Amino acid sequence: KQEVTQIPAALSVPEGENLVLNCSFTDSAIYNLQWFRQDPGKGLTSLLLIQSSQREQTSGRLNASLDKSSGRSTLYIAASQPGDSATYLCAVRPDRDDKIIFGKGTRLHILP
Amino acid sequence: SAVISQKPSRDICQRGTSLTIQCQVDSQVTMMFWYRQQPGQSLTLIATANQGSEATYESGFVIDKFPISRPNLTFSTLTVSNMSPEDSSIYLCSVNEDRADTEAFFGQGTRLTVV
């Protein structure tokens, strides 16, 4: 059974720092992995999608990497800003499955 | 990309009543999903809404409590029936396609409080 774990559960850093959020999954047979952002009480915004054949994806200050064989992904945020404060969710879609399995998220707080 | 409109965005309901949440997509999609997010928790899949057939429910969720309709390829509803305070959550609909290069998209969520 696929399980997704995110570390740390919460993180507070001063504005301007670079930071890394970690995601691990137990079964390497995945279709893709997606990182989402969720603001309090709101829906999910897709940040980056990495297909199983890819190693990384970049969008602006965000870079996500995938090491499928070791069951790990990282989300790197460069030059963090207070507007980056949100919960970041990692989700994997297992092979031959329609469903997406979510981690519990990392609550990020960027201090002005 | 898909744009999903979900209504209502929030509601406060009396216990014992029912609430129907609507999800409208701006394009035809094969698969639609309904999730629940309890306070402080991550997302849990309730069911997969299939057009032309009954929804497929995950373990712990039943049709009598969460009836789902999927009348066409752009619309679905989720009803939360006979509500209790434990049903207070954010409910989200999502769409996905059977391709590795396609993102899953989510509606804005419905924040339900049962009193």
Rounded to whole angstroms, the Cα distance separating A22 from B97 reads 26
B35 contact partners, CB below 8 Å, separation of at least 6: B43, B44, B45, B46, B91, B92, B93, B94
Q: What DSSP character marks residue B96?
A: E
The 10 Å Cβ neighbour count of residue A62 is 17
- Residue B53 buriedness (CB in 10 A; 0-12 / 13-18 / 19+): exposed
- Which regions of B31-100 does DSSP assign to beta strands (E)? 31-37, 43-50, 56-57, 68-72, 75-80, 89-96
How close does chain B come to A42, measured CA to CA in Å? 6
Best interface-test mutation with A: which of B43, B45, B95, B101 has the largest number of A CBs within 10 A?
A: B43
pLDDT of B100 reads: 65
Rounded to whole angstroms, the Cα distance separating B100 from A32 reads 6
Amino acid at A107: R
CB-facing half-sphere around the CA of B30: CA atoms within 13 A: 6
For residue A8, whether the previous peptide bond is cis, meaning omega lies within 30 degrees of 0, is yes
Please give the structure tokens belonging to residue B102.
Answer: 């396609």
> Considering only CB atoms, which chain B residues are within 8 Å of A49?
101-103
> Residue B105 is nearest to which of A46, A53, A98, comparing CB atoms?
A46
B12-69 pLDDT per residue, tens: 999 999 999 999 999 998 889 999 999 888 899 999 998 888 899 999 999 999 999 9
How close does chain B come to A33, measured CA to CA in Å? 9
pLDDT of B42 reads: 87
B78-103 pLDDT per residue, tens: 999 999 999 999 999 999 876 767 88
Rounded to whole angstroms, the Cα distance separating A31 from B100 reads 6
Interface of B with A (CB under 8 A): 6, 31, 33, 41-43, 45, 48, 90, 92, 94, 96, 98, 100-109, 111
pLDDT of B98 reads: 67
How close does chain A come to B99, measured CA to CA in Å? 8
How close does chain A come to B85, measured CA to CA in Å? 17
Q: pLDDT 10s digit of each residue in chain A, 112 long?
A: 899 999 999 999 999 999 999 999 999 999 999 999 999 888 899 999 999 999 999 999 999 999 999 999 999 999 999 999 999 999 999 987 878 999 999 999 999 9
**Cβ separation of B42 and A41 shorter than 8 Å?**
no
